[in-house]
Amino acid sequence: MIRSVELLPKDWELVPVVEKNAVRVFSPSNIAVAKYWGKRDLALNLPTNDSVSITLKDFGSFTTVEFLAGLENDELILNGSIESSEKITKVIAVLNEVRKLSGKSHKARVQSRNNFPTAAGLASSASGLSAVALAAVRAAGLDIPASKISEIARRGSGSAARSIFGGFVQWKAGKELDGSDSVAENFKPASHWNLVVRVLVVRATAKTHASTSGMEHTRKTSPYFESWVNSAQRDVAEILNAIENKNFNELANIAESNCLRMHASAMAARPTVFYWQPQTLALIQEISDLRRGGVPVFYTIDAGPNVVCFFEKDATDVVDRALERIEGVQILRTTIGEGARVLS
């Protein structure tokens, strides 16, 4: 069965909001077709190469941020539970940047709920940290351009820099040591190309290696890392060209190859960083067969076993029928959408 995600999750805020300047936002997740998998600076989340992503329409994070007098520490309530792990460190990195720019000293309460599986390689850090960045910037009363919000979001999670924007997005690696030129920008709006998206959930639980440690371990130990980075940078110009000209086959070929090279570099790390499950391969095979048979569809896979596929509207029936035949896969439907936005 093909399902849509819940558009506005219930019990999003467990704790009543007290601050009148609390800001609620929605930020979407994004899926890279030319991927980020390696950092030139670990603390600032500066990438080794540019990346290109597509923003998903209604998959994302609903997030409230309020700066509260009297709060001793920053708090994160994620999907209904208080978080104390790596996730709060990333949130604090974003909040600290906002405090530095705004002069605010109060700690913040962040409440966030994703309407899709968290930490399963479906870019929940992209939607979550970009949501915190936008909400915190507005709650602190900062009036700054989207490119600056993207830079702040990047402090939390690299891929979050891209979710500030909708449609087709490029994140430039930049050259500056302070990362001031490492920001995302919109390449083409969502309306440029009406592609259909299916998120194929093989496992909804947390992935085996978090992206942050997975990519760093790959950088340090994989003999394929350097060639991955060089080839990934070359992919970017070609992929932008394919998007610009709506050349589906070209986009499909480069995006799939880019995805497989990212995973190959991770698989070759010692010990291996291996994300796939049997259904991941079944989906790769099915989607490849469809395209060989002339159906305009392609897949990509982030740091997890789940698969995302993109196709032209006319192919909807044939793709959906083929996907439904594969057992043990939850199919969620969406399209291409707008970037992060304030709800109240």
Contact residues: ligand DP6, CB under 6 A: 32, 35-37, 45, 51, 123, 125, 157-159, 211-212, 302-303
Cβ-contact 186, 169 below 8 angstroms: yes
Q: How far is the CB of 229 from ligand DP6 (least distance, A)?
A: 13
Q: 157 or 170, CB closer to ligand DP6? A: 157
Q: 32 or 236, CB closer to ligand DP6? A: 32
Q: What Cα–Cα distance (Å) separates residue 207 from each residue in 27, 64, 183, 210, 266?
A: 22, 26, 27, 7, 14
Q: 160 or 290, CB closer to ligand DP6? A: 160
**What is the rounded distance in angstroms from the CA atom of residue 105 to the CA atom of residue 230?**
42
Q: How far is the CB of 211 from ligand DP6 (least distance, A)?
A: 3
Q: How far is the CB of 42 from ligand DP6 (least distance, A)?
A: 9
**What is the rounded distance in angstroms from the CA atom of residue 181 to the CA atom of residue 2?**
41
Burial 305-320 (b: 16+ CB within 10 A, else e): bbbbbbbbeebeeebe
Q: 169 or 315, CB closer to ligand DP6? A: 169
At 114, give phi and psi (nearest 5°).
-95, 145
Q: How far is the CB of 249 from ligand DP6 (least distance, A)?
A: 22
Q: How far is the CB of 35 from ligand DP6 (least distance, A)?
A: 4
At 261, give phi and psi (nearest 5°).
-70, -40
Q: 22 or 88, CB closer to ligand DP6? A: 88
**What is the rounded distance in angstroms from the CA atom of residue 210 to the CA atom of residue 52?**
21
